[in-house]
Amino acid sequence: MQSRIDTFKFDSASSIASQVSKGRVSAMEITEQHLARIKSLNSDLNAFITVSDNLARSQAEKIDKKFKNGETLGPLAGVPIAIKDNIVVRGVETTCASKILKGWTPPYNATVIDKLIEADAVIVGKSNMDEFAMGSSTEHSAFGPTKNPFDLDRVPGGSSGGSAAAVAANLVPIALGSDTGGSIRQPAAFCGVLGLKPTYGFVSRYGLVAFASSLDQIGPFAKTIEDMKLLMTVISGHDSNDSTSLNFETTPVLNPSKTDIKGLRVGIVKEFNEGLTSNIAVSLKNAIEKLQVAGAVIEEVSIPSVKFCLSAYYLIAPAEASSNLARFDGVRYGARENGDNVEQMMIATRTKGFGDEVKRRIMLGTYALSKGYYDAYYKSAQQVRTLVIREFSKVYSSVDILLSPTTPSTAFKIGEKLDDPMEMYLSDIMTIPTNLAGHPAINVPFGSDDSGLPIGLQIMAPALKDGKLLSIANFLLSQEGN
Amino acid sequence: MEEEVYEPVIGLEVHCELKTITKLWCGCKNEFGVEPNTNICPVCLGLPGSLPVLNEQAVKFAAMIGLALNCEVKPSIFHRKNYFYPDMPKDFQISQYDQPINVNGFLKLDKNVTIGVVRAHMEEDTGKTTHIGSSGRIHESSGASIDYNRAGVPLVEIVSAPEIKSAEEAKKYVSELRAILVATNTTDGKMEEGSMRVDANVSVRKIGSIEFGTRTEIKNLNSLRSLVRAIDYEISRQINVIKNGEKVKQETRHWNEDASTTVPLRSKEEADDYRYFPEPDLVEVDLGNDIVRQLKQSLPVMPLERRQRIIELLKNPNEDSAFIVVDLDLDGLLLEVVKQGADAELALKRFSNEFAGYVEEVKALQPERLVELLNLEQTGQLSATQAKAVFAEMLTTKSSPSQISTGLGFGGLEDSELSELLKGIISNCPNEWNRFKDGDGKVQQFFIGQVMKATKGQANGKVVLSLLEAMKNS
Ligand SMILES: [Zn+2]
């Protein structure tokens, strides 16, 4: 087992920002240092599809100039950040890890990118992912799999595997991913870092290449709660370019008044306790004990509809994807294959441009929306969704948060599940319900298995309790290994 | 064997582009006839990652159209209509499906005929493809260029009930609808420029039958004339198909203006699954009762009522002239000049003919001046020809009609001069004079014509006639 986890020492985003803001180190020095880290490890990890060194250096130069001019720097001053390759950055190739977008350079910034630049962060590259965010291992990337820094023979999880691996290996202190059914939390669990799927609508989706619009949410990866909070404060908030963006003050959400563990009512979802590996079951038990010791009240709860969630998800997400991915037709941008007429051109482009997993989901989704099948598939899946929301809200009337493992197992071997899509889909069984409900959930690293691979626990909470999740995650982090 | 008689059943789908300042989902300008691909952005190009944000003005315009068509305005949602087409940037169209903004309206064609409006929903327009190559058909051309300026322009599609009974009635429906839309100032209703596009659903059935026949949808109807011709053609084509013992196929047909025929575009069965599902990037649209009420109050008087106001003033109602005057938005001025003493019949005649060519200029004139002109003609002080000449001068000078008239030397012919002239004509044409004296009315025109010729149109026909009558009786 080859590890790349201790190659570089960890420097947090908040300490970098504070040092750069005080002029103790220049943004350029930090940038060069992290570009060098990426250069030395990316051939092993394949965490980045594109390293945006030109953009990074020009941003660093601007930040240093601002400092010299006596201007106050933003909250992420000089902090290197990795951006999942499905979030558009003006002038930097955005591929979504697909051949079909190879060479496409977006002419605009995602809202989160504008906010990061405004906050003086430095974008060092576009991280690897499963093609169009469809997958749980980053193996479905047209540019090869990302390796897990703990064990190069293992997957980092997915679909935001590149971002998780980059943070885990200290190539960057923070990164952005996107989570449709667990695509932030599951790789965070496999790579032993924090990963938050915010409340749906808390972070603008403008500029996130859509996989399943009603489920997609951009979120942060980091190693400390302070860094998570810092990054969330920068990227969250209302955006008039996103009709589904929520409109409210973000600060109270991220700084909840009540953070006490004493009296906290913690629900353990019965349905998630089946089929766990013994190591993971032990970690969960440890966490429960620590919470109890600190005064939390533990209660077993049942959400029966979670057993339908996987099926509902694999109808809704592909259905929306089949429509969202229709635009990749070779007419306007990206790759184009030749054809005798426009229809043949589109068919050839899509046949060659999309990978198998993407095609599988487009077909599934097309079928689910077809005449005569819509009611049986798409509509009933939406009914499951309504049911899940109802059951969650009932449970949240008696508990404040829910605790579960993030994944049923730790990081698996590269290639292990590639030939069995159903087995792969099961990796997301505990993360999917919160996407269907639109609720926030976070992965907290908590212990490791016998092979030294990280174990992740998931904390879930009602909508807009993102800040509360961070506080409780903070408590668990402080207890890890005690 | 008894001849079977068929009747047509026609339903119309009318798309109109809304005159909003910006497009439906983005801040790009909504304008016609600019350089290709200049009014575009990531949103209306459907670039990966872009999201639509609904234009509030478009929603209000759509609601106004609904209200003008007596619809219920309801909270609505958008759906995606999925199909691949290169001029559609996202390869789906955002449209309203089973929860449209306007439902259950009607459109009154006249006192007796009302056509149901099933719905009037919002959707986005597509880009425009120009095929490079001779045939104009996509499969035979060597290439195509696409202009996305029109992509994302707001449209309202107005769907009539299948209650239209003839091509002429379809024309009347479209004319009336166009007039209403223009009156609401939400669209400019230009069929030739494509800002108003009509598709016709046509079927035929045996008279007395309750069941509908199989319908075809006819596209490419770029004018009222092609609408009428295409529907008439399609009705007789379908009747022939049935009489030959065959079945009408449900399909989309293209009206070929040059060949005067409809030809099949594609069979409906093949391409009818649009996989509609609710658009996840948008939220429910609900203007709220207060705004809907305000919009309703802001609606102008509808054309039918405006025409009615004119017709009420007339002894012999003339619907066509009233239609023209309202269509040109000259009816307010017409009512004013009548109120100020002009003869309604004459005023309508002049407004719908001579004045109609100079709408803006006429609107700029003081009503008093028009009243004066119309009165000069009405009382016989000016002939029709003279009045026309005076009118032409009025458009360019500030003088009053009587000043212009004097300046042009009109009204200079005294009755005595005319009498002398007439006497000369009578002595040259004894036969005609005898026929006139015997009561042959047709010869009147002969004498008036002769006088006009001799005076170069300066005489007043009415005066000539009264002189003739006087001479006959003396
Ligand atoms: Zn635009």
In a domain? residue A216: yes
Return d(Cα A149, Cα A190) in angstroms, integer. 10
Could you tell me the pTM of the whole model?
Answer: 0.90
**What is the structure's pLDDT at A448?**
96
**What is the structure's pLDDT at A420?**
83
Report the chain B residue with the minimal C-alpha distance to residue A341: B139
Question: Would you tell me which residues 48-107 of chain A have a C-beta closer than 8 angstroms to some C-beta of chain B?
Answer: 86-88, 94, 96, 101, 104, 106-107
Return d(Cα A50, Cα A27) in angstroms, integer. 20
Q: Give the mean model confidence (pLDDT) for residues A423-451.
A: 93
CB of B468 closer than 8 Å to CB of B432: no
**What is the structure's pLDDT at A159?**
97
Band of residue B137 on the pLDDT scale cut at 50, 70, 90: low
Catalytic annotation present for A178: no
Domain boundary among A253, A288, A306: A253
- B41: its two tokens: 């952005």
Number of H helices and E strands in chain B, helices first, is 16, 14
CA of B96 to the centre of ligand 1 (A): 20
CA distances from A164 to A129, A455, B128, B138 (A): 10, 14, 44, 47
Return d(Cα A152, Cα A26) in angstroms, integer. 33
Please state which of the ranges B71-80, B139-148, B273-282 shows the lowest mean pLDDT: B139-148
**What is the structure's pLDDT at B409?**
73
The owner of tokens 């071997």 is A413
In this structure, the answer to whether residues A249 and A326 fall within a common structural domain is no
**B415-473 fold:** Arc Repressor Mutant, subunit A (1.10.10)
In a domain? residue A438: no
Q: Does A369 touch chain B (CB under 8 A)?
A: yes
In a domain? residue A298: no
CA of B155 to the centre of ligand 1 (A): 15
pLDDT at B380 over 90: no
Q: Does A326 touch chain B (CB under 8 A)?
A: yes
Band of residue B2 on the pLDDT scale cut at 50, 70, 90: low
CB of B405 closer than 8 Å to CB of B380: no
Q: Do A326 and B82 touch (CB under 8 A)?
A: yes
Question: Would you tell me which residues 33-72 of chain B have a C-beta closer than 8 angstroms to some C-beta of chain A?
Answer: 42, 45-54
| Phi and psi angles of residue A65, each rounded to the nearest 5 degrees, phi first | -65, -45
pLDDT at B447 over 90: no
Q: What is the pLDDT of residues A365-375, one digit of tens each?
A: 999 999 989 99
In a domain? residue A398: no
In a domain? residue A21: yes
Report the chain B residue with the minimal C-alpha distance to residue A110: B49
CB of B251 closer than 8 Å to CB of B266: yes
pLDDT at B413 over 90: no
Please state which of the ranges A85-94, B139-148, B161-170, B176-185 shows the lowest mean pLDDT: B139-148
**What is the structure's pLDDT at A426?**
79
In this structure, the answer to whether residues A217 and A327 fall within a common structural domain is no
Residues A266-297 as b/e (b if ≥16 CB within 10 A, e otherwise) read: bbbbebbeeebbebbeebbebbbebbeeeebe
**What is the structure's pLDDT at A231?**
98
- The H or E element spanning position B428 is helix B415-428
Band of residue B318 on the pLDDT scale cut at 50, 70, 90: confident
Provide, as residue numbers in chain A, all residues whose Cβ is less than 8 Å from the Cβ of B46. 327, 332
Q: What is the CATH number of the domain that holds A84?
A: 3.90.1300.10
In this structure, the answer to whether residues A120 and A218 fall within a common structural domain is yes
Band of residue B384 on the pLDDT scale cut at 50, 70, 90: confident
Provide, as residue numbers in chain B, all residues whose Cβ is less than 8 Å from the Cβ of A241. 51, 53
Please state which of the ranges B366-370, B433-437, B468-472 shows the lowest mean pLDDT: B468-472
Q: Would you give the DSSP letter of residue A326?
A: G
Provide, as residue numbers in chain B, all residues whose Cβ is less than 8 Å from the Cβ of A346. 84, 86
SS3 annotation, A251-289 = HHHHCCCCCCCCCCEEEEEHHHHCCCCHHHHHHHHHHHH
**What is the structure's pLDDT at B139?**
53
CA of B32 to the centre of ligand 1 (A): 14
pLDDT at B135 over 60: no
Residue B101, Cβ neighbours under 10 Å: how many? 26
The full set of domain ranges for chain B reads 16-190+268-297, 303-407, 415-473
**What is the structure's pLDDT at B411?**
65
Catalytic annotation present for A270: no
Task: Give B273-303 as a DSSP string.
Answer: ----EE-TTS--B---HHHHHHHHHHPPPPH
Q: Give the mean model confidence (pLDDT) for residues A459-471.
A: 96
Report the domain count for chain A.
Answer: 2
Left, alpha or beta for A348 (phi > 0: left; psi -120 to 50: alpha)? alpha
pLDDT at B460 over 80: no
Domain boundary among A253, A270, A298: A253
* Domain boundaries, position A335: 322-380
Q: What is the pLDDT of residues A231-267, one digit of tens each?
A: 999 999 999 999 999 998 777 788 876 668 999 999 9
**Which residues touch A327 (CB under 8 Å, ≥6 apart)?**
B46, B48, B89, B90, B91
Of B89, B90, B275, the CB nearest to A370: B275
Return d(Cα B289, Cα B74) in angstroms, integer. 9
Q: What is the pLDDT of residues A305-347, one digit of tens each?
A: 999 999 999 999 999 999 999 999 999 999 999 999 889 999 9
Catalytic entry in A183, A283, A322, A404: A183
Catalytic entry in A21, A141, A159, A160: A159
Nearest to A363 by CA among A384, A377, A375, A382: A377
In this structure, the answer to whether residues A127 and A205 fall within a common structural domain is yes
Return d(Cα A138, Cα A46) in angstroms, integer. 10
In a domain? residue A430: no
In a domain? residue A20: yes
Task: Calculate how close chain B gets to A209, using CA atoms only, in Å.
Answer: 4
Band of residue B316 on the pLDDT scale cut at 50, 70, 90: confident
Q: What is the pLDDT of residues B84-98, one digit of tens each?
A: 999 999 999 999 999
Catalytic entry in A21, A26, A84, A409: A84
In this structure, the answer to whether residues A175 and A66 fall within a common structural domain is yes
Band of residue A443 on the pLDDT scale cut at 50, 70, 90: very high
Q: What is the pLDDT of residues A130-180, one digit of tens each?
A: 999 999 999 999 999 999 999 999 999 999 999 999 999 999 999 999 999
In this structure, the answer to whether residues A81 and A180 fall within a common structural domain is yes
Q: Give the mean model confidence (pLDDT) for residues B38-50.
A: 97
Catalytic annotation present for A84: yes
Return d(Cα A344, Cα A433) in angstroms, integer. 40
Q: What is the pLDDT of residues B15-35, one digit of tens each?
A: 999 999 999 999 999 998 899
Domain boundary among A331, A354, A380: A380
Provide, as residue numbers in chain A, all residues whose Cβ is less than 8 Å from the Cβ of B269. none
In this structure, the answer to whether residues A199 and A345 fall within a common structural domain is no
What ipTM score was computed for the predicted complex, to two decimals? 0.96
CB of A103 closer than 8 Å to CB of A335: yes
Q: Please, what sign has the CA dihedral across residues A150, A407, A125, A26? A: negative
